[in-house]
Amino acid sequence: MSEPAYYADILKILEILPHRYPFLMVDRVMAFEAGVRLTAYKNVTVNEPFFQGHFPGKPIMPGVLLLEAMAQAGGVYVGLCLGEALANKLFLFTGLDKVRFRRPVVPGDRLVLTVQNVRNKRHLWKMESTATVDGDIAAEGELTAAVMDRELV
């Protein structure tokens, strides 16, 4: 089954997400189907600031940042589904379940981020997410999040 054609470059992502360097973890959206799924990627380079300390001589992307990349892909998915930027809102984690790390992510990898809608009701969203490199799962889990107005947080 092929992915539905869709393309969003970094400028569109910057319209949707409030994140900025060094914390923006999504480079491009490759596929999007409203109410179903999104596929995006992050190019992991040796220039990432976290590699200076994680780990010297053996750079590995921290697991918590893999989860952040998956969550940001979820934020882009929700923003595209809602048809509005999340700049005046916050996309906040409310839970992580069934999280597993399967392989390290290192400089030079292209991290493919996939989120699939499980359900959403009003401002609450539940998604299954995977992060893969060359078709191998690096991380996976269920993400739950809430979209909140900034002034209410």
Query: What are the extents of the domains in the chain?
Result: 10-152
Residue bearing tokens 């981020």: 113
Whether domain 10-152 has CATH 3.10.129.10: the reply is yes
**40 CB neighbour count, 10 Å cutoff:** 27
What is the spatial distance between Cα 47 and Cα 120, in angstroms, rounded to a whole number?
Answer: 36
Tokens (6 digits) for 64: 């918590």
Please list the active-site residues: 54
pLDDT digits (tens, 9 = 90+) for 109-139: 999 999 999 999 989 999 999 999 999 999 9
pLDDT digits (tens, 9 = 90+) for 68-90: 999 999 999 999 998 866 667 88
Question: Please, where are the H alpha helices in 9-139?
Answer: 10-16, 63-82
pLDDT at site 2: 58
The answer, yes or no, to whether residue 12 has pLDDT greater than 70, is yes
pLDDT at site 4: 59
Q: What percent of the chain has pLDDT over 70?
A: 94
